[in-house]
Amino acid sequence: MKSLGGKAYVDASGSAVATIGSGPLKVMFLGHIDTVAGDIPVRIEDDCLYGRGTVDAKGPFCAAIAAASRLTEETLDRLSLTLIGATEEEAPSSKGARHALAAYPRPDLLIIGEPSGWDAMTLGYKGRLVLRVVVAKPNHHSAGSESSAADDAVRLWNRVAVWVAGFNRAQERIFDQLQATLQSIATDDDGLEQRCTLTIGFRLPPRL
């Protein structure tokens, strides 16, 4: 990005940022440079690039940088372009995007590089909510009639799933539906207390 002729730097959130152009139309391209966990070796096969992050969203961000390198002086007199490769998009913190929201002027046009297929444009995103639920109760003998922390946690998740199904009954489009996923469940005990921890992820439609 330093070769584009403007400024290129790492901002306070760790995001990679470049600015070029001096025109009145403010355009921002936001991608992210972190990946989800897991190593997929990078390779090129039949002119296609494979590997963790080649599509979401390093591919679009690299394409934006390449496109910016082809802008003419005439175009750069008409627009001011900011390129941001944000950090922690794959984490609930969204550190880079939240920093950009507060640190940079509001653009006239914002393009977010996420995979939508080559012939599609995504017009909006659903919100995200992640809950960590801990059920804790005193230990008891397994031959007794009391429920375990895991029993109670599973009942809780089942209630959530039933409520979500009812909420979605009248919603045909998946974009308008509330999506709930049991992302993880784990149990432990120290001999005196038993615990069950759930991580529940929600994708929220605009009305929520």
CB 144 within 8 A of CB 205: no
Catalytic: 90? Answer: no
Whether residue 57 is preceded by a cis peptide bond, meaning omega within 30 degrees of 0, is yes
* Burial class for 133, CB neighbours closer than 10 Å (0-12, 13-18, 19+): middle
Q: 125: which 2 tokens?
A: 């995103």
Q: Annotated catalytic residue: which of 47, 56, 73, 89?
A: 89
Catalytic: 34? Answer: yes
Q: Is 207 helix (H, G, I), strand (E, B) or coil?
A: coil
Q: Annotated catalytic residue: which of 34, 56, 74, 77?
A: 34
* Residue whose tokens read 């900011």: 82
CB 90 within 8 A of CB 31: no
Show which residues are catalytic.
34, 89
